[in-house]
């Protein structure tokens, strides 16, 4: 895969709109505001959930959501996807009869914003997953990734109020997705990996959002062994990462980062004296947006 094979499209008029208001000095200003619209997901004939999303890649979002909720298996055959933009509905059809009724009985509301939910017995689903022990991340790759991602044109830089997730390999960002909820952005990448048969064992996952239990669970279920964020951690997120053998790196800004799990995959090969601090414009925007 090439670098930024999928990248943000901040100039897409469907994803943000200009809104006029006044600033702190009472002057008229126009600012870009990201869109937010409902998308109702059906699995075969059963309504599953209504998600709030910016509206791009609805097919990948739907597939990734169902995979990460355990409603689709990786060996399932998808026989059709019907998306109707007018009524904001998407239907995923499968050859196998799914067990979503049982999953819906065990619904856990998580700390993800908007409609972040995880179904079923979370720990039971994670216990059988073994992450690649051979995966590595060097500090050189980490610094190059954060620089490339932070400077890539995006809705995150244009309008804020949005999260980004990036699938990476070594020092190359491969698939960059954005949405109003970090769980939606990660689901889009899960859907992309399923559709394109992407091997997860040598990948790195980057997110602008917090390293919560939900993000750790989804990353482990996707079998990506390394998770990086410019934001901080939750205690349960760290605990689940350690139990699952996931490398968890947070507060990655400029030359600084903290690794709280899976440090055996981390290789220190960069001269930190040659690494500059984060550009102030990215630091200011991140301080405003990552907690949203």
Indicate the average pLDDT of the chain.
88
Yes or no: say if 169 and 204 are a contact pair by the CB < 8 Å rule. Answer: yes
Domain residue limits, the chain: 137-289
Helices and strands counted in the chain (H then E) = 9, 16
CATH number of the domain at 137-289, please?
Answer: 3.40.140.10
What pLDDT does residue 136 have? 98
pTM for the full model?
0.88
For the CA atoms of 11, 42, 119, 233, the dihedral, rounded to the nearest 10 degrees, stands at 0
- Distance CA(247)–CA(131), nearest Å, equals 10
Model confidence pLDDT, tens digit, residues 215-269: 999 999 999 999 999 999 999 999 999 999 999 999 999 999 999 999 999 999 9
């Amino acid at each position: 895969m090439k670098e930024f094979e999928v990248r943000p499209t901040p100039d897409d008029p469907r994803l943000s709109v200009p809104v006029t208001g006044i600033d702190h000095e009472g002057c008229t200003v126009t600012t870009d505001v990201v869109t937010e619209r409902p998308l109702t997901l059906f699995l075969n004939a059963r309504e599953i959930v209504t998600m709030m999303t910016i509206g791009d890649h609805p097919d990948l979002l739907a597939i990734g959501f169902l995979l990460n909720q355990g409603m689709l298996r990786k060996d399932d055959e998808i026989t059709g996807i019907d998306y109707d933009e007018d009524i904001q509905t998407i239907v995923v059809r499968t050859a196998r009869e799914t067990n979503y009724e049982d999953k819906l009985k065990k619904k856990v509301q998580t700390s993800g914003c908007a409609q972040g939910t995880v179904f079923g017995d979370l720990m039971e689903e994670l216990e059988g997953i073994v992450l690649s022990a051979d995966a590595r991340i060097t500090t050189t790759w980490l610094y190059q990734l954060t620089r490339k991602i932070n400077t890539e044109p995006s809705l995150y830089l244009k309008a804020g109020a949005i999260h980004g997730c990036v699938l990476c390999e070594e020092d190359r960002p491969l698939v960059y997705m954005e949405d109003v909820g970090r769980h939606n952005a990660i689901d889009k990448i899960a859907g992309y990996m399923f559709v394109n048969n992407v091997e997860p064992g040598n990948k790195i996952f980057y997110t602008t959002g917090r390293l919560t239990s939900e993000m750790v669970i989804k990353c482990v279920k996707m079998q990506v062994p390394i998770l990086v964020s410019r934001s901080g951690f939750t205690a349960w997120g760290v605990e689940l990462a350690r139990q699952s053998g996931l490398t968890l790196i947070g507060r990655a800004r400029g030359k600084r980062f903290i690794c709280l799990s899976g440090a055996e995959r981390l290789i220190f090969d960069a001269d930190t004296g040659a690494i500059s601090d984060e550009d102030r414009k990215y630091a200011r925007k991140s301080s405003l947006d990552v907690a949203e």
